[in-house]
Structure formats: C-alpha cells, structure tokens
Amino acid sequence: MKKKIVLAIALVACIFIGNQQEKPTKANSAEKIVDYSFNDMEDSLVPDQTGNFDGAFINPDLASIHDNSDTGEAVVSFEGGTTESYIEIPEGVLDGLDSVTVSTLVNWQGGGGAQWVYGLGQSDTHYMYYTPSYVGGAMDRLGIATNSWQNESFAQSPKLANTEWKLVTTVVNGPDETLETYIDGELVASGSTNGYTLEDIRNENGISGYIAKSFYDPDPYFGGMIADFEIYNDALPEGQINTLYSETQRTIEDIGGLDGLFIDIAYEQLGATDILKYNEDVDHIETDLNLPTEGAYGMAISWETSHPEIISPDGKVERPSNEADNQTVTLTAIISDGKETKTKEFTFIVIKRMADDLAINEATENLTVHHMDDVRGNLYLPTTAEHNVEVSWESSNPDVISPVGDVSRPAYGEGNITVTLTANLSIGSETATKQLEAIVQEHPEKIEDNAAYLMTYFHGENYPDGEQIRFAYSDGNDVTEWHAINNGDPVLTSSLGEQGLRDPSIIRSPEGDKFYLLATDLKVYGTGGDWARTVREGSNSLMIWESTDLVNWSEQRMVEVSQPEAAMTWAPEVYYDHDTGEYIVYWSSFVYDSVADRYGGGSSYNRIMYAKTRDFYNFTEPQTLLDLGHDILDTVAIDYNDKVYRFTKGTYFTEKELSGQEIREHIFQDVGDSFFGDFELVKEGIGMDELDHGEGAEIFKSNTEEDKFYLLIDEFGNGRGYTLFETTDIASADWKLSEDINLPDRPRHGDVLSLTEEEYQRLQINIPGVHVDVTEPTTVESVSLNKESITLVVNASASLDATVLPEHAVNKEVTWSSSNEAVATVDQNGQVVAVAEGEATITVTTKSGNHTATTQVIVSNPVVTPSTELILGQESDVLAGETYTIQGMNASITMPADLPENSRIVVRQADLSAMSHEGLDVAGENLTVELSYPEDTPEHVEPFQLVLGLDDDLSDKEPHIYYYDEAEQQWLSKGGERTEANQTISLALPHFSTYGVFVESEPEQPSDPDDQDNEGTTGQDGEGTNNDGIGDGSNHQNNEDQSPSEKESEENHLPDTATSLFNKIWLGVLFILLGFVMAYRLNKRHTN
C-alpha cells in the first residue's frame, strides 16, 4: 500500500511540474540591424553603423550629400523623377525575420505619386514598401504583395506632408498579420497583411531592396531628402516608436536649414512652363498666366512685374491695343524661406490686340455651324466668335430652327426642309453678316422592333492592338451569345493623340437616327505599365466619331473637354437632357489645384466631371458631377421609372476608402430623382462574391422583359474582362450572375446599344469603319431548287441545291423537310436518301419570309435486268463485249471481251463534294463503276470502253477523262477522244473505278496592287494595371521562397519552450526513479 502511495505521489509530482509551464510571453527584443546616418559616406559606400549591411550608392554624382557645417549632421538629397540615383540595400536583411520595422527621417519635395522611400523584397511581384503619395497623390501607402498590385495589401492615410521633416516609421507584424504606419510617432494608418509574410517576399539570392527606388521600373525615383534610415529585426511597440520620434527632434535641429538649400532647390525647379497656362510660349502671351505662390519645400514665392498694366502681379493679362506694339514684360519671382531670399526673372512678350475690322473679317470667315447639310438634332449656334466678336442669329423658319438652335424636324413622310440662318456679328463699331443654309431631315419612321444588341469594347493594354475599338452583336435578343465583328479585330483605330482607344461609349440620338461614339485617348501598351504618368500627364481630350447607320463612321476627331488642371479624361459616358436638348458628357479625372500642381507636387483623386454639348464639337466648361472626397471612377447612369440609377467604382464613404476595405475595388449603386439631383446609396460591393475586383460598369435594359436589366462589370487585371449580371429588381440592386454566357473574346470596359432589325441585319453583312461603303440589308424574296424531280432506287441518294434570292439577303438560312420519310429522307444540307418504293415531296423553306420550293422524289426497288440499259444505283448482270447505256445519261460502257460470265455491275454518280478537284472545272458526266466477279474466276485483262457526256458550253476548252486516285486523293488525266456530233468523249480504260470529265480551270488574273487593302497592325492590360491607375506592376506567378535545406533547418531547430519542457520531463523521470528506489527499500525492510 505504501509502495502505491509513493508511486502515485511521484507521478503526480511529474505531471504537476509538466503542467506548471508559464504561458509563453514574447518580450520585445527588437534590435537595430541597419543604420545609415549618411555622415561618413565614402564614394559609393553607405556605411552601416551596426556593421551588418553596408549599402551601395548607385550614381551618387546624380544626387548630393548636404551637411550642417556647425553640427556635422548630414542628409542625402535625391532629385527624383527620372534621375536614376538610389541606394541598394544588400542581401540578407529580411533573412529569418517574421516582423520588421523601418524608420527614417524624410523631407519629401512633393511631386507625383508612386515615389518609394524604400522597398524591400525581390521583384515587382514580391515586395513591401512605403510611398508618401500613392498613384494620384491623395494618400500615402505602406504595402506588401506577393503577386504585384493585384493582391497588394496596404495601410494608407492622407499623403505625407512635403517640404518638412517627418519621421516615417512602418511596421510589418507577422504574428499579428498587421501593417502600421506612424508619422512623427503617431499611428496614422493600419491594415492587414492578409497572411503575406516577410518569408514570402525576401530575396534569397540578391539584394534586399532599395532606398529612393521602386521595384516597378516605370515608377519615378524618390525626390527629396532622407536622413537616419534604420531597420529593426522585429515589430517595435508604440512606446518605443514614440521614443524614436523624441530622439529625432534633436537630429532635425542639427540638420537645420542646410545653408539655404531649400531656396536653391525651389529656385532651380521654378520654370516658365509652370507659368504659361494656356499660352503657347513666352513670346506669344495672349491669355492670363499662372503665377505660383509656393515652390519646392514650401518656399514662398511672390511676384513683381515691370508693367503691371499689362501683366499684373497675380498673372492677369491685358493685351495692348492694336495701335500699340507688342509689349515685353519682365516678371520677377522672389523666393523666400522666411529668413533668406533669392530672385529669378522671366521675360514675356504680350501680343497686341487685332484691329476690329480685321478681327470681324476673320471671325466671319471662320464662323461655322456643324451638321448644316444633315440636320438631325439641335444645333449649336455660338454667341461669341473668335477675337471676342459677338454673334446673334436669325432664322428664315423659326418653327423648324429657332434663333437659339432648337430644331423641330418635319414629320415622317413630309420630306426635308431647307432653312436659312443669318449670323449678325459685331465688335466695337464693326458689323458683318453671314448666311448659312441648313437641310433639316424629316423624322425617321418610328420603329420599335429591338432585335439584338451591339457591344463596343477594347481588349486591354497587354496586346499590341488591344487599345482600339471592337464591335460585337448578340445572337438576336439572346444576351448569352455574342459574335465579334471583323473576326474580333478592331473596327476603329486611333491616329491621333496617344493613338490608343479605351472605354468606348455609344449613344443613339433621341430622334433615333444618329449615333455618337466616344473613347478615352490613352495608350498604356509599350509604356511598361507607367500608370503614374497617366494620372499626371494624361490627355485632356476625347476621341469622337458619328454615324447614321452604325457602319459608315465619320473621321476621328479629337476634342479637348477637360481643364488644363485635369490630369486625364477617362471613361466617357453620355446622357441626354430632354429639358435643355443637350447631351451631357461625363468622365473621370484627377483635377489638381493648378497646372503647376498637376505636373509638380500637387495631390488629387479621381472624381466625375461633365460638360454639355449639342454637336460634339463645342462643349461647355467642365464642371464637377460627383466628388466623394476620395477616388471614384467609371460612373454610368440610366433612367427607369422616373429615377436615375448610377453605377460607380469605389466606395460611398471616405472612411471605407481610408481603411483599405476591399469594397473600394468594386461597384456601388446609388439612385436619384434627376441626373443633377441628390442621390442616396443603394448598395456597395456589387459583384464582390464573384469577382476579385471590378470597374467599368455598363448598364443596359432588356429588349424583351420590361423590368429586366443587365450589368457588365470589368474584372480588370487578370484578363477576364467583362462579366454579366442581371436583375428584375433594379431598385433593390438584387444583382445575380448570369449563367452560360458566351461573350466576345476579352471584352473590357465598353457599352451596349439596342438594335433595330434593320440595324442588326446591316451589321451582319458589313464591317464598320471610317468612310466605308455600306451594303444595305434586303429581305429574302424567293427560293428555288436545282431539280424539279429525281428518280432513285432504294438506298440511292442525291443532292439538292437551294438558291435564295436576292444575293445580299441578310438571313439566307433554310430548313428541309420530306412529306413522307418512309419513302425518302432529307438532311439539313439537302442530301436526299431513298428509303422505300413510293413518292415523296422534298420541301425547302427560308427562315426569313417562309418562302418554299419543292422537288418530287420517285423511289423504285432495284431490279436485276438483262437490259442493256443500266440504272444508277441498281446492280445488273453484264456480258463480255456488250455495250450498256446509263439511264438518264449520255454515258455508256462497252464491257471487256474477256469478262467472265455472271459478272455484275453497279454504276453510281461520283460524289464530287467528297473529292477535291482544285484547279479543275467539271465539264461533263462522272461515274463510279463497281464490278463483281463469280468466285474462283480470273479478272478481265482486256480494256473496257467508257463514253461520258460533255457539257454544252465548253467552247474552245479541251476536256479530258480523269481517273480519281483514292490513295493520293487527286484526279489524274487519262485523255479521251471527243465526238462533237453527240457531245461525248470516249476512252479505253484498263480497270473499273471512278471517272469524270474535267477541264483545267482558267488562272486568276493578278489584281492591281494599288487596289489591295493595306491593313496595318498597331504596335502595343485594370490595367499590368487597372483602368483607373491603381497599381503599376506586372503579373507574375508566386515563387516558392523557402529552400529544402532551410525548411529542414527550421524543422530541426527546437524552440526555447521545447527545451524548457524537456528539462522538466527529465526532472519528472528522476522523481519516478526515486519513488521506485524508496518503494524497493521499504519492501526489503518489510521482508526482513
């Protein structure tokens, strides 16, 4: 009993010791593993004060080192932009780390987005980084990715303040899966790593990363100054980060003003291009200037002018009168940091005004009203011409065209009307008049037979011709099947602007017989995915075409619609305002505070802009349509039940955008009572369950169901493109993924238009283009068959050919049927097969118009007959030396003299459709002859004589009998003797097979090279980027980052907790052994 008690005590003691492990707590032991202070630079060597990872300065001569002569504190200054100067961080920094902290003093000079302060990782697919301003410039970003921008996780906050020192501390915490950004010791942004680890991104065989350089080649280099760059091998807690900030205050004081460096940089960066605004150059000033009041690093700029009456200190321009000369004006910029100043002069020539008489003559001559020879909608009648000449209008028929350009077209059937418009021009005391004639088209016939849909789209920036316009039409009103026009090649290409076309939008005029097509002027292919450029230096213009039939399009024109402060003009859409009789064109733009901000250090974000037009030549000044304070893109609107429904990429609330929620990469729907009225959110994140991300939404109504709508969403970046959703309850945004959809190949952001039957038919027989001839669709008028009757024996077959007229009828499809399939059947190719004796009628019917034609089929049973007339398909006995004719043909066969008795023959017409006769034209009859012999009898040796009938229209052509070589699958000429009297050709032949009469085809005449079509290929994706500029990398597959040896090393290494447990188990074992010893001695004592 005592033995059991002792053993139990020992076991309990062991278990107790094993279970008394303390919960593992990780004390922060972060150590500084990289410390670049830039005080002791040696040529291209950047010494690491920790002694671990000396950096390499690439092109140090393109950067500069500045130090305070009093304190010795140094900073490195990078020019940025395209200046290739940066620091390489050597291999191994991230090895073995699951968390990292990067902290550095930054004085960012501002400028465009995507300037990386640092980047750690291996490539433009696997990295972590910090940028003071992401693409667009409104937000900073700490990001980590394992598949470039497409799966990047990030934390972001409003962009970093420029031209002042800021301590930027970024933390990637692996165990907590968090990203954190601290500015001056304060947490400003946090996000999730989404499970991406430092092990995923570290570079096993190469440098660890860069300072002042992005992994994406198109991104600009960082511009500004950096001091005290530090990396820690763990996640620093907030308290230690606050301590870092406190310590850097002394460093900032030691840096000081760097002896006027900021003023010098501002002086160098201030140029005439920042001032010109709308003017062509400094020698031709005609409009106001843009005089910036702040320069690089926040330096204040004030202005003095030599002639304030010509150019004021705030840039207002008053041109000299025509009697005076052009005026030279000197502007002086005074640049100051509050203590020191520096001046810089600019000289401009202001052009004098034109004389009134010359001005009015030029204005009158150039005054134009568009579409006057083909008026189908309201006209734009300008009230001001060039040189500020005033214009008023009179109309000879104000009921048709009013003096303000409102048009009332004659009713259908009343004919066209000609109206004379008179323009009255005036400036000063000068006046002039100009008359213009307008031909107003009668209203089109009202047709409501929506028969199909037209889709406009592009492919993306990943293909040489991917940024051009393509068309496709649906299979009738079936939205699940689409057919690309022109074999999927572009139908409209760009020769203007950036020579790329994206986001094509199409609208039908309210009258119904005019179409306008608009597209984004943008080409990303060939730029290396330089999206940062597109949101600074993008086009301010749209590309526009017009058509009256969807096939023949006007010349491309480039129309500037955005203000100079806007960085780009993307994704145009059009809405017709029935109240004002104008088209509202709206698009996406980054709009900066000034032109200088656009090309310099300004920040902005995407918002929706609009302008109005009547003719798509003249547009009102752009205005803001939708501004939510953060990036939104690709708005499209549709009317339904007295409501306007809008669809936009982005989020509805700023806090959701700032928090980095995935919802920002999807579509939201809102609703309002009118286009310019108040809207309220209906739903965010449309399509999130099906798509990784979405943009470029396009909404269109069903042609067949009153309450049904379809929504296309462009899943950019992965090559998928458009995906189709549908709903019968648009008010609740209950969108469901459409099933079994066969869209055209790789469709990206475009538009969908309902088609009438005539338009649908026209697109099926034409390829749209600029100034192309149009073949108008015609309906089927008749169908005929090539034979009125045919006679067959059972199991024989024959082909019928249907001819549908007219030749250019749109739908020439036919169906075939038999009145008695027990006698004869017919397939949908017109092949008739005899089944049993009797009669049947074969009928062909056109799908368009239900026109019919018939052929009578007579079928008889095969009969073996000694007659010298052979029936096609029927087996017959034949005799040596006898001549046999073929029923219904001119052909005859004279049997060989040594033909064995009881031989039998079957003669059939050859199936020429299965036998290629390229280079030969059929010139007469053809036969397949099969001979069978009695068993154990030799075949004939003597030849047989074959006679075949000739066609009537051979003229001088030389026909031959040809033999079909089945092995080589070709016809071989055997010659033959022609008999003119009975139009036959004969030849002695050695064996029975397939023979036919042919003549050689006439060679085609070579065409005139000048008549050949010359078709070029335009040299070449978001979107690798998206269409709104989010991200700028390429698409690579994830790499396996951990080598087998490293994995084995990790697996064999015991953590500290395991070692502790091991020691305690040994202690427990010792207790057990002690228990056994005690039990043994007690037992022995008891025994003794």
741 and 806 inside one domain: no
Residue 1020 resides in a domain: no
Alpha-carbon gap, residue 214 to 131, rounded angstroms? 9
Question: Does the pLDDT value for residue 15 go beyond 70?
Answer: no
Q: Residue 17 — very low, low, confident or very high, per pLDDT cuts 50/70/90?
A: very low
Give 242-288 pLDDT, tens digit per residue. 999 999 888 888 887 666 777 888 898 888 887 888 898 999 999 99
Phi, psi of 786 (to 5 degrees): -80, -10
Cβ count within 10 A of residue 149: 26
831 and 943 inside one domain: no
End-of-domain residue from the set 410, 440, 470: 440
Quick one: tokens of 15?
Answer: 């278990």
Give 116-160 pLDDT, tens digit per residue. 999 999 999 999 999 998 876 678 999 999 998 888 999 999 889
Residue 323 resides in a domain: yes
Alpha-carbon gap, residue 193 to 187, rounded angstroms? 17
99 and 83 inside one domain: yes
Looking at residue 1068, its pLDDT comes to 65
Q: Residue 831 — very low, low, confident or very high, per pLDDT cuts 50/70/90?
A: very high
Q: Residue 5 — very low, low, confident or very high, per pLDDT cuts 50/70/90?
A: very low
Cis, bond preceding 806 (omega within 30 deg of 0): yes
397 within 8 A of 417, measured Cβ to Cβ: yes
Alpha-carbon gap, residue 591 to 564, rounded angstroms? 9
Alpha-carbon gap, residue 991 to 525, rounded angstroms? 66
Distances (CA, A) of 22 to 19, 270, 1061, 1064: 9, 64, 11, 12
Tell me what the mean pLDDT of segment 526-551 comes to: 90
Q: Residue 952 — very low, low, confident or very high, per pLDDT cuts 50/70/90?
A: confident
* Contacts of 199 by beta carbon, 8 Å cutoff, 6+ apart: 98, 1041, 1042
Looking at residue 594, its pLDDT comes to 80
Quick one: tokens of 889?
Answer: 């043909």
Q: What is the rounded average pLDDT for all residues in the chain?
A: 87
* 1018 conformational bin, left if phi > 0, alpha if psi -120 to 50, beta if neither: beta
Q: Residue 1067 — very low, low, confident or very high, per pLDDT cuts 50/70/90?
A: low
Residue 1044 resides in a domain: no
Residue 1031 resides in a domain: no
Looking at residue 196, its pLDDT comes to 96
Tell me what the mean pLDDT of segment 170-174 comes to: 97
Here the CATH number for the domain that contains residue 845 is: 2.60.40.1080
Question: Does the pLDDT value for residue 858 go beyond 70?
Answer: yes
End-of-domain residue from the set 350, 382, 400: 350
H-run or E-run covering 761: helix 757-765
Give 607-643 pLDDT, tens digit per residue. 999 999 999 999 999 999 999 988 899 999 999 999 9
Give 77-93 pLDDT, tens digit per residue. 998 888 999 999 999 99
Nearest to 453 by CA among 427, 475, 431, 438: 475
Residue 7 resides in a domain: no
Give 437-460 pLDDT, tens digit per residue. 999 999 998 887 899 999 999 999
Distances (CA, A) of 888 to 838, 891, 922: 19, 9, 18
Residue 1016 resides in a domain: no
517 and 625 inside one domain: yes
Question: Does the pLDDT value for residue 727 go beyond 80?
Answer: yes
Looking at residue 171, its pLDDT comes to 97
End-of-domain residue from the set 228, 259, 290: 259
H-run or E-run covering 1084: helix 1056-1087
852 and 712 inside one domain: no
Question: Does the pLDDT value for residue 943 go beyond 60?
Answer: yes
Q: Residue 800 — very low, low, confident or very high, per pLDDT cuts 50/70/90?
A: very high
Quick one: tokens of 357?
Answer: 């008489």
Which is more confident, 1039 or 282? 282
Residue found by looking up tokens 């202005």 in the block: 303
Residue 1014 resides in a domain: no
Nearest to 786 by CA among 804, 798, 803, 806: 803
For the chain, give the longest Cα–Cα distance: 146
Under DSSP, the state recorded for 776 is P
* Contacts of 606 by beta carbon, 8 Å cutoff, 6+ apart: 136, 588, 589, 590, 631, 632, 633, 650, 1028, 1029
Q: Of 36-50, 83-97, 372-386, give the lowest mean pLDDT range.
A: 36-50
Q: Of 426-430, 661-665, 709-713, 1081-1085, give the lowest mean pLDDT range.
A: 1081-1085
528 and 395 inside one domain: no
Looking at residue 113, its pLDDT comes to 81
527 and 639 inside one domain: yes
Question: Does the pLDDT value for residue 221 go beyond 80?
Answer: yes
339 and 231 inside one domain: no
Q: Residue 10 — very low, low, confident or very high, per pLDDT cuts 50/70/90?
A: very low
Tell me what the mean pLDDT of segment 325-332 comes to: 96
757 and 809 inside one domain: no
Alpha-carbon gap, residue 409 to 375, rounded angstroms? 8
Question: Does the pLDDT value for residue 1042 go beyond 70?
Answer: no
Question: Does the pLDDT value for residue 3 go beyond 90?
Answer: no
Looking at residue 1050, its pLDDT comes to 40
Question: Does the pLDDT value for residue 809 go beyond 90?
Answer: no
Domains held by the chain: number: 7
Residue 3 resides in a domain: no
Looking at residue 1038, its pLDDT comes to 38
Alpha-carbon gap, residue 244 to 263, rounded angstroms? 29
Tell me what the mean pLDDT of segment 526-533 comes to: 80
829 and 931 inside one domain: no
Task: Identify the domain containing residue 892 by its residue range.
Answer: 869-1000
Give 972-1022 pLDDT, tens digit per residue. 999 999 988 889 999 999 999 999 999 998 876 655 544 444 433 333 333
Tell me what the mean pLDDT of segment 335-340 comes to: 86
413 and 313 inside one domain: no
What percent of the chain is predicted at pLDDT more than 90? 66
Q: Residue 68 — very low, low, confident or very high, per pLDDT cuts 50/70/90?
A: confident
Q: Residue 557 — very low, low, confident or very high, per pLDDT cuts 50/70/90?
A: very high
566 within 8 A of 557, measured Cβ to Cβ: no
Looking at residue 849, its pLDDT comes to 82
Here the CATH number for the domain that contains residue 523 is: 2.115.10.20
Here the CATH number for the domain that contains residue 320 is: 2.60.40
72 and 136 inside one domain: yes
Q: Residue 794 — very low, low, confident or very high, per pLDDT cuts 50/70/90?
A: very high
| Three-state DSSP class for residue 12 | helix
Length of the chain: 1088
